[in-house]
């Protein structure tokens, strides 16, 4: 009954859904492309043997690369379908398709409406579904169960804040968990919170993001930038969220370090122009990555308004601060920064990636700061202490290497589920 009420509410909310699509399309017209897929309509024929991996947006898509590569290598007679929710996730998935070839496909995940989910599953007929991180869609999971399609939640994480929200929806969420074949949590704390909201058959596999290897060509690009920019110190503000750019820019101005270059990279591309306007309001000399030329000696802020170049930004920077941690957004993941050997500062709000943030801080790969002002002070302090920065770089590399292996454990789970479906 709860799922019926949920579905009815979702149907009645479609005018609001379309209003939201149109609103987002003002800055990202891509939101109005492939709209039919959001309702389960597909024109191109589907491959006959398919493994389906749901990756919501940019972060999940990048994190899934080791798993997708392993699936393609382990099951050469199967194709892999990536489903996304956002245009930026789809664009990132396009980069993986260009890298791994014609056996990798993509589409938007349909809205969680019974008929849309049914059309999607009947069209693609996946032999297995893997939902990344915390993607619980009751109608989708129920539709897969009716069609005997095993679905598992992998690389699963659940913050304390999200747990409180799910606890209010237990009659809707518990049946979805009942229908899942398995849940592979990132950490013991994630597993405990998932069990508390009804998850069953839960294991702790670690975080697949530790298995992501930064693209060598992006790291090389960062090295080329560093050579061109010389010894100029660079402070990277990575994946910043709304409201954080202003805080960081003001702290940067108060720091008054003429040689320091602030590399500012907003999380969402629709906010690039907004971030540029904030820089210009403060009468700081701005250079945009999208314009082509590298910063000159008088450039104060370099705006990283490009997609897919975050490893290069980490490679060129002396130190970074992770976006989403200064204001209560829960933080962006610092694992990619550590994998690139970039020392990291994190603010007080890291509940989305709490374990990784605490582990990185404990081993010396990261330092926690209270606000943008203290971040600027810490940047100045570390830039004056080359030995301390090098210790953080070494700790970052060791941190990522010590936590690898989640992909192999997830693939063992996949093999167990796929065995009876590939027999003969």
3-state secondary structure the chain: CHHHHHHHHHHHCHHHHHHHHHHHHCCCHHHHCCHHHHHCCCCCCCCCCEEEEECCCHHHHHHCHHHHHHHHHHCCCCEEEEEECCHHHHHHHHHHHHHHCCCEEEEECCCCCHHHHHHHHHHHCCCEEEEECCCCCHHHHHHHHHCCCCEEEEEECCCHHHHHHHHCCHHHHHHHHHHCCEEEECCHHHHHHHHHCCCCCEEECCCHHHHCCCCHHHHHHHHHHHHHHCCCCEEEEEEECCCHHHHHHHHHHHHCCCCCEEEEEECCHHHHHHHHHHHHHCCCCEEEHHHCCCCCCCCCEEECCCCCCHHHHHHHCCEEEECCCCCCCCCCCCHHHHHCCCCEEECCCCHHHHHHHHHHHHHCCEEECCCHHHHHHHHHHHHCCHHHHHHHHHHHHHHHHHCCCHHHHHHHHHHHHHHHHHCC
- pTM, rounded to two decimals: 0.86
Separation between Cα atoms, residue 191 and residue 185, nearest integer Å: 5
Task: Examine the residue annotation and report whether 378 is marked as an active-site residue of this protein.
Answer: no
> Average per-residue pLDDT in the chain?
94
pLDDT, average across residues 221-237: 96
The string of pLDDT tens digits covering residues 237-287 is: 999 999 999 999 999 999 999 999 999 999 999 899 999 999 999 999 999
For each of the domains in the chain, give its residue range(s) and CATH number, in order of start.
Answer: 28-206+405-422 (3.40.50.11720), 216-402 (3.40.50.2000)
Separation between Cα atoms, residue 334 and residue 349, nearest integer Å: 13
pLDDT, average across residues 16-44: 92
- Output the pLDDT for position 101: 82
Separation between Cα atoms, residue 15 and residue 34, nearest integer Å: 18
pLDDT, average across residues 103-130: 96
Query: Are the C-beta atoms of residues 139 and 7 closer than 8 Å to each other?
Result: yes
List the catalytic residue out of 37, 60, 135, 309: 60
Structure tokens at 300: 């104060």
- Strand order, beta sheet including 79-84: 104-108, 79-84, 50-54, 128-132, 151-156, 182-185, 202-204
The residue among 192, 204, 205, 208 whose CA lies nearest residue 158 is: 192
pLDDT, average across residues 306-311: 92
Does position 424 have pLDDT exceeding 60, yes or no? no
Separation between Cα atoms, residue 142 and residue 178, nearest integer Å: 10
The string of pLDDT tens digits covering residues 123-152 is: 999 999 999 988 889 999 999 999 999 999
Least confident range from 17-21, 152-156, 322-326: namely 17-21
- Output the pLDDT for position 423: 61
Phi, psi of 262 (to 5 degrees): -95, 120
User: Could you tell me which residues come within 8 angstroms of residue 240 by beta carbon, excluding any fewer than 6 positions away?
Assistant: 248, 264, 265, 266, 267, 275, 323, 324
The string of pLDDT tens digits covering residues 365-378 is: 999 999 999 999 99
- Output the pLDDT for position 146: 96
- The number of beta carbons lying within 10 Å of the beta carbon of residue 85 is 17
- Output the pLDDT for position 345: 98
Structure tokens at 16: 């609001």
Separation between Cα atoms, residue 343 and residue 73, nearest integer Å: 33
Residue located via tokens 């919170």: 193
- Output the pLDDT for position 2: 84
Phi, psi of 195 (to 5 degrees): -60, -35
Structure tokens at 214: 């930064």
- CB burial string 240-273: b at 16+ within 10 A, e below: bbeebbebbbebbeebeeeebbbbbbbbbbebbe
Query: Are the C-beta atoms of residues 106 and 143 closer than 8 Å to each other?
Result: no
- Output the pLDDT for position 308: 86
The string of pLDDT tens digits covering residues 334-364 is: 999 999 999 999 999 999 888 899 999 999 9
The string of pLDDT tens digits covering residues 49-106 is: 999 999 988 888 989 999 999 999 999 999 999 999 999 999 999 999 998 888 999 9
- Output the pLDDT for position 421: 66
pLDDT, average across residues 162-168: 91
Structure tokens at 83: 């489903």
Separation between Cα atoms, residue 406 and residue 205, nearest integer Å: 5
Reported confidence tier of residue 34, pLDDT bands at 50, 70, 90: very high
Alpha carbon 166 to its chain centroid, in Å, reads 21
- Output the pLDDT for position 58: 87
């Amino acid at each position: 009954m709860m799922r019926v009420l949920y579905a009815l509410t979702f149907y009645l909310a479609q005018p609001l859904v379309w209003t939201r699509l149109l609103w987002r399309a003002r800055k990202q017209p891509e939101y109005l492309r492939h709209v039919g897929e959001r309702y389960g309509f597909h024109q191109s024929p589907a491959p006959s043997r398919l493994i389906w991996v749901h990756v919501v947006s940019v972060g999940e898509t990048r994190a899934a690369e080791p798993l997708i590569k392993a699936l393609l290598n382990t099951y050469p007679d199967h194709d892999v379908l990536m489903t996304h929710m956002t245009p930026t996730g789809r664009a990132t998935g396009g980069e993986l398709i260009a890298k791994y070839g014609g056996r990798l496909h993509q589409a938007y995940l349909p809205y969680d409406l019974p008929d849309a989910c049914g059309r999607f599953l009947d069209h693609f007929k996946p032999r297995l579904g893997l939902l990344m991180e915390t993607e619980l869609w009751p109608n989708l999971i129920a539709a897969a169960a009716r069609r005997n399609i095993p679905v598992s939640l992998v690389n699963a994480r659940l913050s304390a804040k999200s747990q409180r929200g799910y606890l209010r929806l237990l009659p809707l969420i518990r049946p979805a968990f009942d229908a899942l074949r398995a849940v592979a949590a990132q950490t013991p704390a994630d597993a405990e919170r998932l069990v508390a909201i009804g998850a069953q058959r839960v294991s702790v596999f670690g975080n697949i993001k530790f298995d992501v290897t930064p693209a060598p060509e992006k790291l090389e690009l960062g090295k080329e930038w560093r050579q061109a920019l010389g010894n100029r110190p660079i402070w990277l503000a990575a994946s910043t969220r709304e409201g954080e750019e202003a805080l960081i820019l003001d702290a940067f101005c108060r720091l008054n370090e003429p040689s320091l270059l602030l590399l500012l990279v907003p999380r969402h591309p629709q906010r690039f122009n907004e971030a540029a306007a904030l820089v210009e309001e403060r009468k700081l000399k701005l250079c945009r990555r999208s314009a082509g030329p590298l910063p000159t000696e008088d450039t104060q802020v370099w705006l990283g308004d490009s997609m897919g170049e975050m490893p290069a930004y980490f490679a060129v920077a002396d130190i970074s601060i992770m976006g989403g941690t200064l204001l209560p957004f829960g933080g962006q993941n610092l694992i990619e920064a550590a994998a690139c050997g970039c020392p990291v500062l994190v603010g007080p709000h890291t509940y989305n990636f709490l374990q990784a943030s605490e582990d990185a801080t404990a081993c010396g790969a990261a330092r926690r700061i209270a606000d943008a002002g203290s971040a600027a002070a810490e940047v100045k302090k570390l830039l004056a202490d080359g030995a301390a920065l090098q210790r953080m770089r070494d700790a970052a590399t060791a941190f990522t290497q010590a936590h690898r292996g989640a992909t192999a454990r997830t693939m063992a789970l996949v093999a167990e589920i796929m065995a009876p479906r590939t027999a003969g």
